[in-house]
Amino acid sequence: MANVELRGIRKRYGNVEVVHGIDLEVRHGEFVVFVGPSGCGKSTLLRMVAGLEGISDGELRIDGQRVNELPPRSRDIAMVFQDYALYPHKTLFENMAFGLRLRKTPEDEIQRRVMDAARLLKIEHMLERRPAALSGGQRQRVAIGRAIVRQPKVFLFDEPLSNLDAQLRHEMRSEIKRLHQRLGATIIYVTHDQVEAMTMADRIAVLSAGELMQYDTPDAIYNRPAALFVAGFTGAPPMNLVDCTLAGGAALLGPLRVPLPQELAARAPTAPLKLGVRPENLRFARQDGDADLPAEVVLLEPLGAETLVTLKAGNAELIARGPADFRERPGTTVTLHLQPQHLHLFHAESGSAV
């Protein structure tokens, strides 16, 4: 295990800077996920840690050692790629053993490490097969096994599940998380899927356009987003974000008035704001109260265990999580209860949380 420190990491291609001064630390044995939309710089950042991309500025340390100028083979890392990168003419055993043989590892040690990894990944019964005879999930297990036998200081995963179907992704997420618990390894994992990030990570680095928007635990990312982008990116469906103005300790959504917690209203500026509330924190009320507002049902999306309800409230469109047996039809007026302790305010221009 090792810690990984990124200090002011920048990446430029000619005059174009694509990663802008990233500062973060991955602790010993921690599972950290870099997440963000396509083009946000997450894979570029991972490839700089691996040594596959040069660092334009800043310092990268692995286990306390500066590694900016070290080639990938000297960084004691193992990387699992999106496309598996298996040798089609070699058996699974030979694929997993190949890197060890290049390092002239004794044959009995190769045998022990490969068998230990195969048992851990439940593929010991297929080691004589070739990749063409395997499913996508089995090939990914082999790629992970090849990394495990290296016994590196740091494991790097670059969108390893994106080629799998939804069911296999769910199964492999669980397998990788259990693997981390067993190995206690330091893992950096890149994905564009915020569900993967929320379910797997100890800490999440949310990236947008080469900037680090927030680096924190999944709970903090979800419940205390530090930026408008983070609030709108996490959650399925994501946080409701609507334009509002502030007056008399309340957020105004057109003609509708939403009272705010006193401490939130006290620090809110008069500048343009966005009001944020998660769908699960919009409740259907039986009677009007101070924090309640009328809303018109626009659309119902039954999902089995719940129903997603799109509503029009004042000048805002909101999504709420309703019960599975929600019966109000489009065009009906209902009453929504907004839980004040779950309201968020963001600066509309800078995107930072109030």
Full 3-state SS string of 203-226 = EEEEEECCEEEEEECHHHHHHCCC
Whether residues 34 and 87 share a domain: the answer is: yes
Pairing status of strand 240-247 against strand 250-253: antiparallel
> Is 87 part of any domain?
yes
In this structure, what CATH number is given to the domain that contains residue 272? 2.40.50.140
Cα(301)–Cα(309) distance, rounded to whole angstroms? Answer: 6
- Asked whether 295 and 288 are in contact (CB, 8 A), the reply is no
pLDDT tens per residue across span 273-327 = 999 999 999 988 765 555 678 899 999 999 999 999 999 988 889 999 999 999 8
In the predicted model, is pLDDT for residue 133 greater than 70?
yes
pLDDT mean over 35-58: 96
Whether residues 321 and 188 share a domain: the answer is: no
Whether residues 10 and 68 share a domain: the answer is: yes
> Is 353 part of any domain?
no
Q: What is the pTM of this model?
A: 0.91
pLDDT tens per residue across span 150-174 = 999 999 999 988 888 888 888 888 8
The boundaries of the domain holding residue 104 are 4-229
Residue 74, amino acid = S
In the predicted model, is pLDDT for residue 209 greater than 60?
yes
pLDDT tens per residue across span 83-92 = 888 999 999 9
Whether residues 147 and 54 share a domain: the answer is: yes
